[in-house]
Structure 1
Amino acid sequence: MANPLDTDVGSELFGSYEAELKLVQADLNQKLDQIPELSGEPRKAAVRQAERALEEANELLDSMRLEKQNIPANLKSKINQRFRNHESDVDAAKRKLKSLSEDRKALFGNRYQDNPASDDQLEQRQQLLSGTERLGRSSGRLRESHRIAMETEDIGRNTLADLGRQRETIENTRNTLLESEGYTDRSIKTLRGMARRMATNKIITIAIITVL
């Protein structure tokens, strides 16, 4: 069985997939334990449920396989071992489910007849149902991806709008600073003019006093 879930830094997403896989495996094993006790339609329904759980487990394994490539080097050995353990568990469940699915007499109960044509039709029907369920899950993922894309687009639009407003604010501030600079220049010129007039008046006053 797989090792207990670790919480090493750098493997959080892998651990999240692993925790979800453990729940799916527990559900799958429970269904596999129930199937031998059933026959006829209940058994077929249980087999289909187990097949769905097995497909979900394989999808989680695929996600874990991708994520473990991003695991830090110092954790790879431990992560790879945990992954192999889970992979082995899922393979064992797959073999057990295949064995249970091939028991036609248990599947059909007293109505079972050794009819290859009927077996082929049943297999085709099961494949069709399985394909339909996979398509449904894929459609759900596509809808979720589309929702996330739309939310991201909205965030992008809002961000651009905020940047536009910030740019306008910066430009207004710049214009205000330029106007203030103009006022300052004019004030300096006015003060210089006043200083020159005061100096001139002082010279005139001194000249008058000297003459007198």
Structure 2
Amino acid sequence: MDNFPTALFDSYEQDFKQIIDSIRSELDRDGKEGGEERKAALRRVIMDLDEADELISQMVIEIQAIPQSMKQQYQTRLKTAQGDLDRYKKLSKDLQSQSARAELLGRGRVGTPTSDEPYGHISDRSRLLTGTATLEDGTRRLQDSQRVALEAEDQGAEILMNLRTQREQIENSRDTLRTADTAIDRASGTLKKMIRRMYQQRVVTAAIIVVLVLLIAIILWEKLS
């Protein structure tokens, strides 16, 4: 596995581009379809948008670990990806609204109002409620995706803060070890000086003893002779 700090970001970005291409293809085809096929295409677009939103969240987390010297260009790429996602979210929402409105209008033409059934075979109010529920469901999905993205961003910021704290602790420990190492070196030098002086004092003491012994021997020899 590539350990380069941008490897995961690049991988998520590549997956994101593939999903965006798939969304673009679905939306382009949606304009040529109708009925159930159009609904299925919009459902696939919604699922792809949710997956793309999750990839954006992962990219937001990974960009925190990129070195500062490289972060600027990756932030630009992230903003571009977020802009593409927002644009297709808006386009998808507009197409969902158009689809719901077209469905309501189509049902209105099928159910011809009569004096006995002033709202046709299917109540206009029921159709409006159904369309509103569909729009609310799509809005709720978008809000959930946004919430997941914000939670992932908060978690990424918290992880980054913890890593920074641990790094500071490691640096402080390293400084403490360096200080202790310096103190040990100084203490070792002091001990070496003390040992050297001790040996010097022993030599001086031995020399004095030898001189005294010689003096005593000379004095005794002179007295005896």
When normalised by structure 1's length, the TM-score is 0.54
Per-residue CA deviations over 1:172-200 (Å, capped at 9, x if unaligned) read 55445434432332321221222234345
- In structure 2, distance between residues paired with 1:197 and 1:150: 70
**In the alignment, what sits opposite 1:49?**
47
Residue 39 (str. 1) matches residue 52 (str. 2): no
**In the alignment, what sits opposite 2:21?**
29
- CA 1:155/1:104 → structure 2, altered by over 3 Å: closer, same or farther? same
Q: CA deviation at 1:160?
A: 4.0
When normalised by structure 2's length, the TM-score is 0.51
Structure (1 or 2) with the larger CA radius of gyration: 2
Per-residue CA deviations over 1:138-186 (Å, capped at 9, x if unaligned) read 2123223323433443454455456545645654554454344323323
Q: CA deviation at 1:43?
A: 3.9
Letter in 1 for 2:149: R
* Structure 1 unmatched ranges of 5 or more: 1-11
Give the superposed CA RMSD: 5.3
Q: CA deviation at 1:130?
A: 1.0
Q: Contact 1:57–1:90 (CA<8 Å) still a contact in 2?
A: no
* Structure 2 unmatched ranges of 5 or more: 109-123
- In structure 1, distance between residues paired with 2:12 and 2:132: 34
Q: CA deviation at 1:108?
A: 5.5
Q: Contact 2:23–2:48 (CA<8 Å) still a contact in 1?
A: yes
Count of residues in Structure 1 that have an aligned counterpart in Structure 2: 190
Between stretches 105-114 and 155-164, larger displacement belongs to 105-114
- In structure 1, distance between residues paired with 2:206 and 2:172: 51
Residue 182 (str. 1) matches residue 194 (str. 2): yes
Q: CA deviation at 1:207?
A: 7.5
Residue 147 (str. 1) matches residue 142 (str. 2): no
Between stretches 181-190 and 200-209, larger displacement belongs to 200-209
- In structure 1, distance between residues paired with 2:22 and 2:54: 15
Per-residue CA deviations over 1:51-82 (Å, capped at 9, x if unaligned) read 33565687769x99xx9x956xxxx9xxx9x9
- In structure 1, distance between residues paired with 2:218 and 2:186: 48
Letter in 1 for 2:16: V
